[in-house]
Amino acid sequence: MIDLLAVRFNHNPDSARDDALSIRENAKTGISVPEWVKGMTKPEDSRAAYAIREITGHTITIEAKLVCSNPSVNAAYVRAVQPPPPTPPSGWLAWVMKMLEKFPILWHLLAFMFVTGHGKNLLGEVQERNVVFDADGETEFEPFELDKHWLLQRGVGIHQVHWRWQYRLTASGSWVDFADSKHRIYTVLEVPTSPWQQVYQGGSNEQLPWTDVLEHACEWAARTNQVDQAAAQVTRALNRLGPSNLEYSGTGHWFISPKHNFFECSQFLPKLKPQPAGSSPQPVDCSDMATAVTTFANVLGCDLAESQMNSWSSPEQFHTNPIHPIGRPGFTTTLWTYHEVAWKGSGSAGDHLFDGSLLLNGHSNPANAPYSDLEAVNMLFGNPGSGDYRDKLAAANPAGNRAKCSPNMQPRRRAVR
């Protein structure tokens, strides 16, 4: 008698305080609103994203459009709940208790799952409200408030939401199931920053966050609750793509347009997937990796920018300590005219950075063996002699070498295409 026609998550493109972000699939393909329409059965067909900080303290709403085939019914109470779990097998409780007795650490896991609402719909339940059908038996897109969501507790992630829609004709009547809807929900920490935008333009803006990017970034930074943690996880994940997927090459940019204005993200994304056996890794340089770290971290709400270090007076080369470039078999020293990383703030000596193109030498004296991998995540650039990133990257000799490795302070964020 009553059916669900559509569900709209991003019902206010000008704000993300009480609804979903404006997103698209990739540079070529947008995401239609409403995000769910009757006939969709797979969660990945209905995608939405939420910025945790933006919605904190506000009531989240969705909008649903319904239809009634009975002309004598002009109103109904409607809600959506999580379907009950399947009936567990016989004797499951005794088995669980034995496992908990044998492995006490499982109690900590259960406590974590309880606190974070594991196994429950990320978006909670759709609160009951009375809807009115027009002369054609349809409603407008009616606003529904979400209750008991777990966005703050879960942090960054990718989640499957399954709602069972129910109606009753009177406030005290029995609930009747009438529809199911499944959705794929991405959670980021804050509204994505440049190069990503929230200028909707009817969904045609190619700089809206891509779900093809969110698929990777949200998995890499899953369960993080701070932007620095998320940026660190993104940097680690990208660096660990060597040597199977990526390998350092100093011969030029491979994913930066000739004028350095664009990040060829559409070409970069396939390189993140498992590569065919026997295939060669994709060459990348420091600009490619700095841009990738910035792009994938900023879609989660971080605020990084690509910035360089070199000599202020002229493009002199500086000597490095032993470093471990991405995808290369071990440590090496080199001469660089410049080096590019993802940098916080204005890209100054007093700002922190994330370097996905290499690992530093973790030895107390970075010029000496034995060498040990040190991740350059959220590391202060520092001044010569401070022991920070600059000292670990640039060699102390010859005299004045570290002065040639100075912040350029020209941060930028390359648009995606």
Residue by residue, DSSP assigns 375-399 as EEEEEE---TTS-SHHHHHB-S-ST
Number of H helices, E strands in the chain: 9, 21
Please check the confidence at residue 109 and state whether its pLDDT lies above 80. no
The length of the chain is 417
Q: Which residue has the tokens 């609804």?
A: 19
**Rounded Cα–Cα distance for residues 282 and 268 (Å):** 9
| pLDDT tens profile 129-187 | 999 999 999 999 999 999 988 999 999 999 999 999 999 999 999 999 999 999 999 99
pLDDT of amino acid 86? 66
DSSP letter (8 states) at residue 394? B
Residues 102 and 47: beta-carbon distance below 8 Å: no
pLDDT, tens digit (0-9, with 9 covering 90-100), for 190-204:
999 999 999 999 999
Q: What is the pTM of this model?
A: 0.92
pLDDT reported for residue 108 = 59
CB 20 within 8 A of CB 51: no
Please count the other Cβ atoms lying within 10 Å of the Cβ belonging to residue 35: 23
- Of the chain, the percentage scoring pLDDT greater than 70 comes to 94
How far is residue 244's CA from residue 350's CA, in Å, rounded to a whole number?
A: 35
Residue type at position 134: D
Cα separation, 157 vs 221, in Å, equals 7
Task: Say what the pLDDT of residue 311 is.
Answer: 81
Query: What mean pLDDT comes out for the span 373-394?
Result: 97
Q: What is the pLDDT of residue 116?
A: 61
Map out the domains of the chain with their CATH numbers.
2-82+120-192 (2.60.40), 89-117 (no CATH), 227-416 (no CATH)
HSE value, Cβ hemisphere, 13 Å, CA-based, for 94: 3
At CA 125, angle to CA 122 and CA 128, rounded to 5?
160
In the prediction, which pLDDT does 96 show? 67
- The span from the CA of 334 to the CA of 295, in Å, is 27
Q: What is the mean pLDDT of residues 273-288?
A: 93
Task: Round to whole Å and give the CA distance between 9 and 61.
Answer: 8
The CA distance from 7 to 117, in Å, is 24
Amino acid at position 259, single letter: K
Q: Which of 273, 266, 283 is nearest to 415 (CA)?
A: 266
| Per-residue pLDDT tens digits for 114-127 | 556 567 899 999 99
pLDDT confidence of residue 190 = 98
| Residue 286 pLDDT level (bands cut at 50, 70, 90) | very high
